[in-house]
A and B are shown apart, each in its own frame.
Chain A
């Protein structure tokens, strides 16, 4: 189980851990929105609006 493992390995008292956990979550969301999702989007059909020789 990833989340309890991460929680156990975060340093400091619990308010610091909460802040660190939020920061990690935010970093993951940023990575998804800037890298993973734009890549995944290209395999969906919504972007195909031109006529071309395929």
Chain B
């Protein structure tokens, strides 16, 4: 009797230790592995995009409407100097998990960089590359530069908001005015809030202040060496 009770306890102990090891492995997966995998994937997406730009083809000048996007494919880079001098993350068409684990995702049916309307982008804030981990440190007046094959589109941040997860109005061509016809180029960035709970969304709004053709080089706000 004592023997079987002892065996049962040992079996329980074995189970609990095994469960503990699995939990620790899951932590390692979330906090280290997903970021390593996402950074590798983003590097690959960035290299593919830069190679496609380097190939000779028809130049579209700085006309933003000439840009074509394909679901799941990178078409731009986002630079946010406030998040680091070297912060440049590929923008992938689509906001599903496969897209968001390779960079940041462009909401389909929202405007393209530099175009009239709302250029809306989502990014992870915790795990899986977490490009927007410190988006809460971006404030009014900070710059967000979208780089495409055509050129550089500099947006300035107007305001940040915390909203509910269903607040799709932030994606409107004129946020909050679904019926309005847009007359200017706007920017919306979305990520989760609070960082490790995500029952809200952190939104950054901005508007276009400057456009440069690719041939003119990166804007001064990015410093030397950008776009390489």
Residues of chain A having any CB pair with chain B under 8 Å? 1-3, 29, 32-33, 37, 40-42, 44-54
Stretch of B57-65, B119-127, B178-186 that contacts chain A = B119-127
Contacts A46-B124, A51-B166, A54-B165; is A37 near B29 (CB within 8 Å)? yes
Name the residue of chain B whose CB is nearest to the CB of A32: B25
Question: Distance (Å) between the CB of B100 and the closest chain A CB?
Answer: 7
Question: Distance (Å) between the CB of A35 and the closest chain B CB?
Answer: 11
Asked if B132 is at the interface of the complex by the 8 Å CB criterion, the answer is yes
State which of B10, B18, B95 has its C-beta within 8 Å of the C-beta of A50: B95
The interface on chain B, measured as residues whose beta carbon lies within 8 A of the other chain's beta carbons, has a size of 41
State whether B29 touches A49 (Cβ < 8 A).
Answer: no
Asked if B20 is at the interface of the complex by the 8 Å CB criterion, the answer is no
Question: Interface majority SS on B: helix, strand, loop or mixed?
Answer: mixed
Question: Distance (Å) between the CB of B128 and the closest chain A CB?
Answer: 7
Name the residue of chain B whose CB is nearest to the CB of A2: B14
Residues of chain B having any CB pair with chain A under 8 Å? 7, 10-11, 14, 18, 22, 25-26, 29-30, 33-34, 95, 97, 100, 105, 107, 122-128, 132, 163, 165-168, 170-171, 190-192, 196-199, 201, 203
State whether B30 touches A41 (Cβ < 8 A).
Answer: yes
Question: Distance (Å) between the CB of A29 and the closest chain B CB?
Answer: 7
State whether B25 touches A52 (Cβ < 8 A).
Answer: no
State whether A33 touches B199 (Cβ < 8 A).
Answer: no
Which residues of B have CB within 8 Å of A47?
A: 97, 100, 124, 127-128
Nearest first, the 8 A-B pairs at minimum CB distance are: A45-B198, A46-B126, A50-B122, A37-B29, A49-B192, A49-B191, A46-B127, A50-B95
